[in-house]
Amino acid sequence: MYYVYVLRSINFNRQYVGFTSNIKNRLNQHNTGKTKSTKPYKPWKILFYEKFENKKDAIAREKYLKSGIGREFINIKWPRSSTE
């Protein structure tokens, strides 16, 4: 099983899209600073994730969510509220 996930920084106006086979462990890596690209913006929370049976489909979805239209989809579906 593979997961495509979107993280949102709790303290910064940042999002991160990635894929993994172990979502709990991967979130822990982001929040403990083991991922160079997300370390300055920790802590992170999972905004949403999707499950995939195979790696190829997960990578394709991750690529879409990292595209301009994919980011627009995320921002429309999960807008950052002023109370966050």
- Residue 73 inside a domain? The answer is yes
pLDDT greater than 90 at residue 80:
no
Reported confidence tier of residue 84, pLDDT bands at 50, 70, 90: very low
pLDDT in tens, 2-30: 999 999 999 999 999 999 999 999 999 99
- Residue 83 inside a domain? The answer is no
Q: What is the pLDDT of residue 7?
A: 97
- Residue 84 inside a domain? The answer is no
CATH number at residue 14: 3.40.1440.10
Contact 48, 3 (CB under 8 A): no
pLDDT in tens, 55-69: 999 999 999 999 999
Its domain, for residue 56, covers 2-77
Rounded to two decimals, the pTM is 0.90
φ, ψ dihedrals at 20, nearest 5°: -160, 170
Whole-number Å distance between alpha carbons of 14 and 12: 5
Give the count of domains, the chain: 1
Residue 43: asked if its preceding bond is cis (omega within 30°), the reply is yes
